[in-house]
Amino acid sequence: MSVEKIISDWKKNVFKPIYWLEGEEEYFIDKAVDYAEHHILSESEASFNLSIFYGKDAQWADVVNACRRYPMLAERQVVLLKEAQQMKDLDKLESYLENPLGSTVFVVTYKEKKLDARKKFTKLIKEKGVLLTTKKMYDSHLPEWTQELLQSKGLTITPKGLALLVEHVGNDLTRIENEIDKLSMNLGSRIHITEADIERYIGVSKDYNVFELQAALATKDLSRAITIIQYFEANPKAGPIQLILPSLYSFFSKVFMVFGSGTGDEKSMAANIGVNPYFIKDYVKAAKLYSYPGVEKVLLLLHHYNLKSVGVGDTGSEDASLLKELVVKMLT
């Protein structure tokens, strides 16, 4: 079951007595808990029927006693146990899990960890309620997820703007949503987000960023590549080498896949190598300019300079110097 399905059920007044939310992706866990805390009960109901515990300070007996209470002037009560991974004697909740109260909605967050599926404790949760295990989203899925989030908020975005947003924020779903909400507030009556909006409201230069460097390298424009690196040198937060090298490696890895895509149809090729069809021409053009051996050489160089950037085989060169040396070797 997904977080969306859980919240959808709650909106329809369909409840299980136990919801155990665990795993690596806090965004989905927090989404469910926020809804449980603020929307299952009305404001008047919550004053008598909402109990919140934190694992670090909670006593298991207090949690169980709260769960066994009957609701006051309401159909149900909600008991939240947050950060349960920090709770002592967590296993003593098992007595309640064996016979949960139907009028209690018991929601537990267990972040960065997973229960042992072999234990009775876990089996009881699955039998009596819902066990949701979240996983960190793959970087390759971030653009699609972000696009869907934007659509759910009634917003659209340019392909390049989407790429800038995702690359700048990285794999932090909560921050992605926060940045989208910030953009939405600043758009006024507009619903379409452009690269200029990303630059103005999030602080990512639309002209000097990793994608522009990538585009310069894809077309073998050494002068433009050096200009962008000089901008990074003057603005270190705009283009840290630890961000740039993996991005370039990802780009040229997909360029390499063009040679084995088995089709000349760009739409099919984009699907095969996992890129937005809007950008596929960049990959095809780079493949033609570099050739198969050239792309192999670039990938080896990127690996070599990635090691250099963390001090392997290098005596402490500045990031900008390493990048300039790298791109010269890539393009000559």
Could you read off the pLDDT of 148-162 as tens digits, one per residue?
999 999 999 999 899
| pLDDT given at position 315 | 67
- What is the CATH code of the structural domain delimited by 210-331? 1.20.272.10
Rounded CA-CA distance 109/20 in Å is 6
Q: Are 283 and 249 in contact (CB under 8 A)?
A: no
Checking if the pLDDT of 316 tops 80, the result is no
| Mean pLDDT value of segment 124-140 | 93
Please give the DSSP secondary-structure letter assigned to residue 206. S
| Mean pLDDT value of segment 269-277 | 87
The tokens describing 325, both together, are: 């040396």
pLDDT tier at 323, thresholds 50, 70, 90? very high
Other CB atoms within a 10 A radius of the CB of residue 42 amount to: 10
Checking if the pLDDT of 313 tops 80, the result is no
Other CB atoms within a 10 A radius of the CB of residue 223 amount to: 8
Checking if the pLDDT of 69 tops 70, the result is yes
pLDDT tier at 55, thresholds 50, 70, 90? very high
Q: CATH number for 3-134: choose from 2.40.30.10, 3.90.340.10, 3.30.360.10, 3.40.50.300.
A: 3.40.50.300
Q: CATH number for 139-202: choose from 3.60.15.10, 3.50.50.60, 1.10.8.60, 3.30.450.20.
A: 1.10.8.60
CA 180 remoteness from chain centre: 13
Could you read off the pLDDT of 201-218 as tens digits, one per residue?
998 888 898 889 999 999
Amino acid at residue number 132: L
| Mean pLDDT value of segment 245-270 | 89
Amino acid at residue number 90: L
Alpha-helical regions (H) of 188-312: 195-202, 210-218, 222-234, 241-258, 266-273, 280-309
| pLDDT given at position 33 | 97
| Mean pLDDT value of segment 58-63 | 95
DSSP for 192-203 reads: EE-HHHHHHHH-
Rounded CA-CA distance 30/294 in Å is 46
What percentage of the chain reaches a pLDDT higher than 70? 100
Radius of gyration of the chain (CA): 25
pLDDT tier at 265, thresholds 50, 70, 90? confident
Would you list the domain boundaries of the chain?
Answer: 3-134, 139-202, 210-331
| Mean pLDDT value of segment 59-76 | 95
| Mean pLDDT value of segment 16-32 | 95
| pLDDT given at position 330 | 93
The tokens describing 315, both together, are: 């005596």
pLDDT tier at 139, thresholds 50, 70, 90? confident
Checking if the pLDDT of 12 tops 80, the result is yes
Checking if the pLDDT of 257 tops 80, the result is yes
Q: Which of 171, 170, 152, 168 is nearest to 160 (CA)?
A: 168
Q: What are phi and psi of 106, to 5 degrees?
A: -100, 115
Please indicate whether the domains covering 3-134 and 210-331 agree at the CATH topology level.
no
Could you read off the pLDDT of 89-108 as tens digits, one per residue?
999 999 999 999 999 999 99
SS3 content of the chain, % helix, strand, coil (to 5): 60, 10, 30
Rounded CA-CA distance 147/69 in Å is 43
Average pLDDT, the chain: 92
Please give the DSSP secondary-structure letter assigned to residue 280. H
